[in-house]
Amino acid sequence: MKKFVMVVTLVNCLIIFSLIGCFGYVKYKLYAIKKETYEFLIDVKKYDKEQIYSLDSKLGVGIIFQASVVFEDEQNIVYDYAKIQGQIKQIYPSEADTDDNYKHKEQ
């Protein structure tokens, strides 16, 4: 009986630590994509900090970790960015979108 209790306790601990590890991994990846997107916009695309109205990270479909950016002069449009092949790239609006109403659409 004592061995059974020890095995059940060990299995429960492994399950709990696995869940905590998965949760921590997701939180870290969301933080990392948000930070990398901010640095990309400031350092590479040369936006001023004041031009970015909001920046948040989210879990997406297909590309799991994404950053959503809203610019100060276009607060009704959300631009999505993701890390693709080691680089931050804009995934929405995509190049296939032919609407010219996007001020910050990347070519």
Show Cβ contacts of residue 49 under 8 Å, excluding neighbours closer than 6 positions: 42
98 has pLDDT over 70? no
Greater pLDDT, 60 or 51: 51
The C-alpha atoms of residue 94 and residue 52 are separated, in whole angstroms, by 19
12 has pLDDT over 70? yes
* DSSP string for residues in 40-94: IIIIIS---GGGEEEEEEEE-SSS-EEEEEEETTEEEEEEEEEEETTEEEEEES-
